């Protein structure tokens, strides 16, 4: 694992980890997100959604993006801006087009054993962005919070594609 | 915390008491193997007690769906018992709550199986 922690002048901080394509890395990304959210004072209900979304993004990067290839890595960065938590998860895979993903709520897909990860990410985060890399995909997840009164309520989903 | 799983029989129904996390990896595989083993032994009336399951990811949700399908295709029934609020909410937003027969009380759940 290669990691770094960068502090800004405003006291906010950003952590960047480069990790192997493994289940242990997925767990580590989840735990780091949990720690950052707890440090930000976010309540348990909201943390549950945040850590699940970030875990799903990491699992997607490892097992769908990099297809578990141990020669490839994922990069995960975690940032608290004071009003938002921003998570960027990047893989080195062939690229993901989120517009082509089947709707897991459609009756014909409801009984599928997979395909709910991106849907859950979108459900729990305020913004989700996808960016094509050469090679790979970067997913940016943003959760806004009010430092004085954190709640688990999503203020609305917004998705844009960069 | 990984998943633990214990099996018991009540009035011809197999109850699986699960606790911990049903997530990608060991937890999902454990559940899959347990269901397959029960079905292969002819135990096809299965109640999954999720009262102590505090976390399920998309892989775990997929495993619940696969378990339901496996049991149903074998001519059996699978029901869910004692969902925590978080698991309940997950099933709601993924619309899986409409698929599963969910019960809050063990005795009611056991008696709800059609043929034992």
pLDDT attached to residue B31? 94
Write the residue in A26, A48, A113 that is nearest to B62 by C-beta.
A113
**Region A147-153: what's the mean pLDDT?**
54
pLDDT attached to residue B27? 78
Q: Which two tokens stand for residue A146?
A: 């009010």
3 state SS of A15: strand
B82 close to B104: Cβ distance less than 8 angstroms:
yes
Q: Is A155 exposed, middle or buried (0-12, 13-18, 19+ CB in 10 A)?
A: exposed
The Cα–Cα gap between A55 and A53 comes to: 5
- Give tens-digit pLDDT for A75-119: 999 999 999 999 999 999 998 888 899 999 999 999 999 999 999
Q: Mutation target for B interface from A30, A61, A116: give the one with most B CBs within 10 A.
A: A116
Domains of chain B: 4-109 (3.30.750.24)
The Cα–Cα gap between A58 and A25 comes to: 8
The Cα–Cα gap between B109 and B17 comes to: 14
- Give tens-digit pLDDT for A10-59: 445 789 999 999 999 999 999 999 999 999 999 999 999 999 999 999 99
Residue A158 has pLDDT above 50, yes or no: no
> Does A144 lie at the interface with B, CB-CB under 8 angstroms?
no
- Give tens-digit pLDDT for B53-103: 999 999 999 999 999 999 999 999 999 999 999 999 999 999 999 999 999
pLDDT attached to residue A1? 55
pLDDT attached to residue A8? 42
Q: Is B22 exposed, middle or buried (0-12, 13-18, 19+ CB in 10 A)?
A: buried
> Is the CA virtual torsion A125, B93, A107, B60 positive or negative?
positive
pLDDT attached to residue A5? 54
How many pairs of residues across A and B have Cβ atoms under 8 Å apart? 52
pLDDT attached to residue A58? 98
Confidence band of B1 (pLDDT split at 50, 70, 90): low
The Cα–Cα gap between A36 and A46 comes to: 12
pLDDT attached to residue A98? 87
What is chain A's alpha carbon radius of gyration, rounded to the nearest angstrom? 15
Cα of A63 to nearest chain B Cα, Å:
10
Q: Is B84 exposed, middle or buried (0-12, 13-18, 19+ CB in 10 A)?
A: middle
pLDDT attached to residue A155? 41
Chain A residue numbers touching B58 (CB-CB < 8 A): 56, 59, 114, 116-117, 119-120
User: Per the CB < 8 Å rule, is A63 touching B93?
Assistant: no
pLDDT attached to residue B116? 58
The Cα–Cα gap between B106 and B30 comes to: 23
For helices A117-124 and A44-59, give the axis angle rounded to 10 degrees.
150
**Region B34-60: what's the mean pLDDT?**
96
Q: Which residue has the higher pLDDT, B92 or A150?
A: B92
Chain-centre distance for alpha carbon B52: 12
Every domain of chain A and the residues it spans:
2-161
B106 close to B51: Cβ distance less than 8 angstroms:
no
Chain A residue numbers touching B100 (CB-CB < 8 A): none
A96 close to A129: Cβ distance less than 8 angstroms:
no
pLDDT attached to residue B25? 84
Write the residue in B62, B68, B86 that is nearest to A114 by C-beta.
B62
Class of domain A2-161 (CATH, top level): alpha beta
Of chain A, the percentage scoring pLDDT greater than 90 comes to: 76
pLDDT attached to residue B26? 79
For helices B85-93 and A117-124, give the axis angle rounded to 10 degrees.
110
Write the residue in A45, A48, A123 that is nearest to B93 by C-beta.
A123
Compare all CA atoms of chain B with the CA of A23 and give the residue at the minimum distance: B25
Confidence band of B35 (pLDDT split at 50, 70, 90): very high
| Residues of chain A numbered 15-34 and touching chain B (CB < 8 Å) | 23, 26
pLDDT attached to residue A154? 46
pLDDT attached to residue B2? 79
Q: Mutation target for B interface from A111, A118, A123: give the one with most B CBs within 10 A.
A: A111
Give me the phi and psi of B11, to 5 degrees please: 50, 45
């Amino acid at each position: 694992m290669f990691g770094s922690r960068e502090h800004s002048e405003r006291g906010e901080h950003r952590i960047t980890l480069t990790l192997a394509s493994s289940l242990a890395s997925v767990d580590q990304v989840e735990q780091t997100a949990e720690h950052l959210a707890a440090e930000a004072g976010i309540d348990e209900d909201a943390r549950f959604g945040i850590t699940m979304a970030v875990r799903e993004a990491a699992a997607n990067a490892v097992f769908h993006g990099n297809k578990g290839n141990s020669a490839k890595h994922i990069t995960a960065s975690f940032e608290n801006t004071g009003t938002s938590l921003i998570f960027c998860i990047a893989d080195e895979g062939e690229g993901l087009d989120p517009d082509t993903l089947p709707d897991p709520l459609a009756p014909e897909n409801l009984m599928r054993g997979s395909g709910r990860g991106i849907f859950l990410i979108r459900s729990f985060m305020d913004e989700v962005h996808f960016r094509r890399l050469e090679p790979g995909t970067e997913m940016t997840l943003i959760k806004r919070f009010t430092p004085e009164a954190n709640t688990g309520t999503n203020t609305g989903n917004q998705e844009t594609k960069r | 915390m990984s998943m633990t799983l214990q099996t018991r029989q009540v009035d011809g129904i197999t109850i699986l008491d699960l606790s911990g996390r049903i997530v990608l990896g060991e937890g999902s595989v454990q559940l899959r193997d347990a269901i397959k083993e029960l079905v292969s032994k002819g135990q096809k009336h299965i109640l999954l007690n999720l009262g102590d399951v505090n976390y399920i990811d998309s892989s775990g949700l997929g495993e619940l769906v696969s378990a339901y399908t496996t049991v149903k295709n074998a001519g059996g029934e699978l029901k869910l018992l004692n969902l925590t609020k978080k698991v309940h909410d997950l099933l709601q937003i993924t619309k899986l709550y409409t698929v599963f027969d969910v019960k809050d009380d063990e005795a009611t759940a056991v008696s709800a199986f059609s043929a034992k």
